[in-house]
C-alpha cells in the first residue's frame, strides 16, 4: 500500500491540475450513512418515495422524514481526516477543486474554498412560496416545516426527477475535462451525471486514482482499497516528504 500512496503523492504533486470527485463514502467516518453500502440509507428508505420531487410536491413530509434530523443537527457533524487532507492539499496549491455529490457541507466546513456541490446542500432551505432562506440548523419545527408566510420549506438539494444546478454541473464538467489527475473518493460511481465525470477526465488523459473500500470505477489507473480517512492523510504525508 505504501508504494501506492507514494505513487499517488508523486502524481498529485508532479502533474498539478488535481481535482477530487467525492461521494458518501468520504463522510462515512463522520458518522453519516452512505446510500448503497450495507446499512445504507436506501435500504431503509425507498428513494423513489423519500427522495423524489414528484412525491415531494404531493407529500413533502417524506423527504423531511429522511433529512429533517440531519438539518436540525447540522452543527453536530464534523469533517474527518479525509476532508481535512483535501483542505490541506488545496491550501498547498495541489488541489484545484472538489466536486462533491454530498449534501452534508463537510468539505466547506473543512475549509475547502473551491467546492462544487452538484447535488446542492442541506445547509440552505428555502420557502417555495416567498423564497425566504433558512440556514441549518435554524429551521421551524414540523415535518414538513412551514415558513411564516405559510409556504412549505424545501432544502436546496437535488431530488430524483430534478435537474442538477446548471452552473455547478458546467463547472464540474469543465474541471473534469481539464484536470491532469482525478482523486475519485468514496463513490459507487452509479449515479448520473456525476458518474460520467471520471470518463470526461479519462478522455483528457487524466490519471484516475480511486480510493474506496471496494472497487467501484472499472477504468481507474490506480485503486487504493482503503478507508478515505486513512488513505488521504497517508498520501498527504508522502507529498509533504516529497516537497521537503
Ligand atoms: N472510505 C472510502 N470509501 C467508502 C467508505 C470509506 N470509509 N465507506 C464506504 N465507502 C464507499 C462504498 O464502498 C461505496 O462505493 O463509498 C461508496 C458509497 O456509495 P453510495 O452509497 O452509492 O454513495 P454515492 O456514490 O455518493 O451516491 C451517489 O446517489 O443516491 C444518490 O444523491 C445520492 O449523491 C448520491 C448519489
With a 6 A CB cut-off, is 181 part of the ligand 1 pocket? no
pLDDT at 178: 97
With a 6 A CB cut-off, is 52 part of the ligand 1 pocket? no
Please tell me the pTM assigned to this model: 0.98
User: Rounded distance, CA 22 to CA 24, Å?
Assistant: 7
Ligand 1 center–CA 148 separation, angstroms: 36
Phi-psi region of 189 (alpha: psi -120 to 50; beta: other; left: phi over 0): left
With a 6 A CB cut-off, is 202 part of the ligand 1 pocket? no
pLDDT at 175: 98
**Pocket test residue of 1, 21, 22, 24 for ligand 1, highest count of atoms within 8 A of CB:** 24
Ligand 1 center–CA 237 separation, angstroms: 25
User: Rounded distance, CA 6 to CA 225, Å?
Assistant: 15
pLDDT at 158: 98
Kindly report the average pLDDT of the chain as a whole number: 97
CB within 8 Å of 237: residues ≥ 6 apart: 5
Ligand 1 center–CA 164 separation, angstroms: 18
**119 in catalytic set:** yes
Phi, psi of 87 (to 5 degrees): -65, -40
- 16 pLDDT more than 80: no
Q: Which three cell numbers stand for residue 59?
A: 407529500
Phi-psi region of 32 (alpha: psi -120 to 50; beta: other; left: phi over 0): beta
pLDDT at 75: 98
Instruction: Give residue-wise pLDDT tens across range 93-135.
Output: 999 999 999 999 999 999 999 999 999 999 999 999 999 999 9
**Are 126 and 151 spatial neighbours (Cβ–Cβ below 8 Å)?**
no
**Pocket test residue of 20, 22, 29, 36 for ligand 1, highest count of atoms within 8 A of CB:** 36
Q: Biggest alpha carbon distance in the chain? A: 59
Q: Which three cell numbers stand for residue 163?
A: 435537474
pLDDT band at 193 (very low <50, low <70, confident <90, very high): very high
Calculated CA dihedral for residues 173, 177, 178, 183, nearest 10 degrees:
90
Average pLDDT over residues 14-38: 95
Phi, psi of 101 (to 5 degrees): -90, -10
Instruction: Give residue-wise pLDDT tens across range 47-74.
Output: 999 999 999 999 999 999 999 999 999 9
Is residue 183 exposed (0-12), middle (13-18) or buried (19+ Cβ within 10 Å)?
A: buried
pLDDT at 15: 78
Ligand 1 center–CA 60 separation, angstroms: 25
Instruction: Give residue-wise pLDDT tens across range 70-79.
Output: 999 999 999 9
Phi, psi of 80 (to 5 degrees): -105, -170
Amino acid at each position: 500500500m505504501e508504494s501506492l500512496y507514494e505513487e499517488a503523492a508523486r502524481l498529485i504533486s508532479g502533474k498539478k491540475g488535481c481535482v477530487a470527485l467525492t461521494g458518501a463514502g468520504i463522510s462515512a467516518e463522520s458518522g453519516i450513512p452512505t446510500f448503497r453500502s450495507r446499512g445504507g440509507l436506501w435500504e431503509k428508505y425507498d428513494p423513489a418515495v423519500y427522495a423524489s420531487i414528484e412525491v415531494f410536491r404531493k407529500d413533502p413530509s417524506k423527504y423531511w422524514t429522511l433529512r429533517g434530523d440531519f438539518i436540525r443537527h447540522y452543527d453536530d457533524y464534523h469533517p474527518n481526516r479525509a476532508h481535512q487532507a483535501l483542505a490541506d492539499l488545496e491550501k498547498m496549491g495541489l488541489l484545484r477543486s472538489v466536486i462533491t455529490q454530498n449534501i452534508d457541507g463537510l468539505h466547506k466546513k473543512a475549509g475547502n474554498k473551491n467546492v462544487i456541490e452538484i447535488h446542492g446542500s442541506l445547509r440552505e432551505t428555502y420557502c417555495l412560496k416567498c423564497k425566504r432562506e433558512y440556514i441549518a440548523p435554524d429551521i421551524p419545527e414540523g415535518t414538513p416545516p412551514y415558513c411564516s408566510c405559510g409556504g412549505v420549506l424545501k432544502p436546496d438539494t437535488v431530488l430524483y426527477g430534478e435537474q442538477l444546478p446548471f452552473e455547478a454541473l458546467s463547472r464540474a464538467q469543465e474541471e473534469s475535462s481539464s484536470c491532469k489527475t482525478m482523486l475519485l473518493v468514496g463513490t459507487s460511481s452509479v449515479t448520473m451525471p456525476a458518474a460520467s465525470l471520471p470518463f470526461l477526465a479519462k478522455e483528457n488523459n487524466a490519471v484516475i486514482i480511486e480510493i474506496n473500500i471496494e472497487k467501484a470505477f472499472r477504468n481507474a489507473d490506480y485503486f487504493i482499497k482503503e478507508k478515505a480517512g486513512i488513505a488521504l492523510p497517508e498520501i498527504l504525508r508522502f507529498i509533504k516528504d516529497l516537497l521537503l
